[in-house]
Amino acid sequence: MGTGFKPADIGPIGMLFALSPTIRSAFERLSKYVNAVQGATSSGVFEENGDFVWSYRIVDPSMWPRRQDSEFTIAASCQLVRSCFRRGWRPIEMQLEHHAPRDAGVLERIYGAPILFGQSSNRIVMNKAEADRVHRAEDKSLIEILERHIGDLVNEPAAGDILKEKVQALISIYLGRKPVTVATLAAELKMSPRSLQRRLSEEGVSLRDLVRQHRQTLAAHYLGDRHAAPMSEIARVLGYADNTVLWRALRSWEKKGSPLPSRR
């Protein structure tokens, strides 16, 4: 289950990962190019509580459940780190969006780290200092060749056509972990808050709309699962202060014609 994964298995993207000087730069490149090459996915990196975090999830809500994809991708990513940087490397923690299976102990042994289930995305939490440790000198010329090659393989749409998708990706990465505000997302996208609001408005949406849609999608999955976590945990995953705020949101959605499944 991903434990035999090699850089060559994902072509030039895998080679970029293997040639990166640090674990951080490897995951930054993996996020950038996997999002471009593999549609309907969202991945990115951020720091939280002094740790370095890589996040990955499929964004197509119709593809649920997707336990196999999540577990394989996280295991394969860990194997890439062990084969390219340090054989005995261990993450601090794993987070998976599906609920705990009966064989959770087997997964923890494979990953080499404790696992939190029922999260808003799949994540690998790593030691920041270890992620920034330099393991090799970077061959800039070779990196440029590989990046050009990947660019030739990707038909990227114009930047203006994908802003909504970029914002949706950031919401899926940060929700429940970091504040999802116009200011924070604008900084991530390297534009002013006003420009972000204007561009989204031109596409007929707002940040509030996109956050609400993402929360509704997650809530539908978790509330419709008979093995779902307690309401307080679902509230945290959806970025709410507590389950009272979640209940208010659920009632509001129902009044607006978007009822969600009841707890089974």
Q: How would you list the strands of the sheet with 93-95, edge to edge?
A: 41-48, 51-58, 122-127, 93-95, 115-116
- What pLDDT shows up at residue 233? 80
Identify the three-state secondary structure at position 4: coil
- What are the chain's domains? 7-132 (no CATH), 159-255 (1.10.10.60)
- What pLDDT shows up at residue 82? 94
- What pLDDT shows up at residue 261? 58
End-to-end CA distance of the chain: 31
- What pLDDT shows up at residue 109? 87
Q: Name the DSSP class of 113.
A: S
Record the pTM.
Answer: 0.76
Amino acid at 171: I
> What is the C-alpha separation between 184 and 237, in angstroms, rounded?
19
> What is the C-alpha separation between 213 and 149, in angstroms, rounded?
36
State the residue for tokens 């979640």: 246
pLDDT < 70: residue spans in the chain: 1-3, 36-39, 154-161, 225-228, 258-264
- What pLDDT shows up at residue 264? 46
| CB neighbourhood size of 182 (10 A) | 17
